[in-house]
């Protein structure tokens, strides 16, 4: 299953920003693995003094953003689980700024954050590997918009890629 197979009806326009950042070279599961390794290597090459840097007063630090990536992946994977299991309950959005404010990511070490990100991604990989083809096509409602299970997987990847791009453009 590659990203080019997604239909625009499987996700809200907003998520297209992330989905377009996913390579069509690999399958969903392959890219879930590859993107994690690529991101960790990228972060390990960032100078230590940049992890607490904010490019503007009201912006998050790199540590805050990594914590945000972890939290968002958990939310997206939970949505995928619910939809794949045929749960038709509409799911609310989540307030990412409140999550960051409460997560305390900026007071954690970069190794702690990367270890947690790896653990969350391993759980996400196990979940997506367990889905049958027909489960990946199931659609539920989250944040008042339809979203397929496979679109959630590609959103997880694209969200990580988006933030790596932000690091490159605004933090380094």
DSSP letter string over 96-110?
HHHHHHHH-GGGS-H
Residue 89's pLDDT is 96
Cα dihedral sign, 119-120-122-123: positive
Q: Does domain 3-171 have CATH number 1.20.120.450?
A: yes
Q: What is the pLDDT of residue 41?
A: 98
- Alpha-carbon distance of 107 to 103, in angstroms, equals 9
Give the pLDDT score at 130. 98
**Closest of 27, 1, 22, 45 to residue 137, by C-alpha:** 1
CA–CA separation, 172 and 96 (whole Å):
23
Question: For residue 128, what pLDDT band results from cuts at 50, 70 and 90?
Answer: very high
Instruction: Give per-residue pLDDT as tens, 11-70.
Output: 999 999 999 999 999 999 999 999 999 999 999 999 999 999 999 999 999 999 999 999
Q: What is the CA radius of gyration of the chain?
A: 16
Distance CA 36, CA 121 (A): 7
141 - beta bridge partners? 146
| Whole-number pLDDT of residue 85 | 98
Digit-coded pLDDT (tens) for 100-125: 999 999 999 999 999 999 999 999 99
Domain ranges in the chain are 3-171
Predicted confidence at residue 27, as pLDDT, reads: 97
- Rounded mean pLDDT of 117-145? 98
Helix %, strand %, coil % of the chain (to 5): 65, 5, 30
What pTM did the predictor assign?
0.96
**Per-residue model confidence (pLDDT) at position 49:** 94
């Amino acid at each position: 299953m590659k990203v080019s197979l997604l239909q625009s009806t499987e996700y809200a326009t907003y998520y297209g920003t992330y989905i377009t950042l996913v390579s069509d070279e690999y399958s969903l599961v392959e890219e879930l693995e590859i993107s994690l390794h690529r991101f960790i290597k990228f972060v390990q090459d960032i100078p230590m003094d940049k992890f607490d840097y904010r490019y503007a007063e009201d912006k998050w630090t790199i540590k805050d953003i990594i914590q945000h990536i972890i939290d968002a992946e958990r939310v997206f994977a939970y949505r995928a689980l619910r939809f794949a299991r045929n749960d038709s309950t509409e799911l609310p959005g989540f307030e990412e700024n409140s999550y960051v404010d409460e997560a305390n990511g900026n007071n954690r070490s970069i190794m702690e954050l990367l270890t947690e990100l790896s653990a969350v991604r391993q759980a996400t990989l196990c979940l997506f590997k367990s889905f049958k083809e027909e489960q990946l096509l199931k659609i539920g409602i989250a944040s008042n918009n339809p979203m397929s299970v496979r679109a959630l997987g590609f959103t997880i990847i694209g969200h990580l890629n988006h933030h790596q791009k932000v690091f490159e453009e605004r933090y380094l």
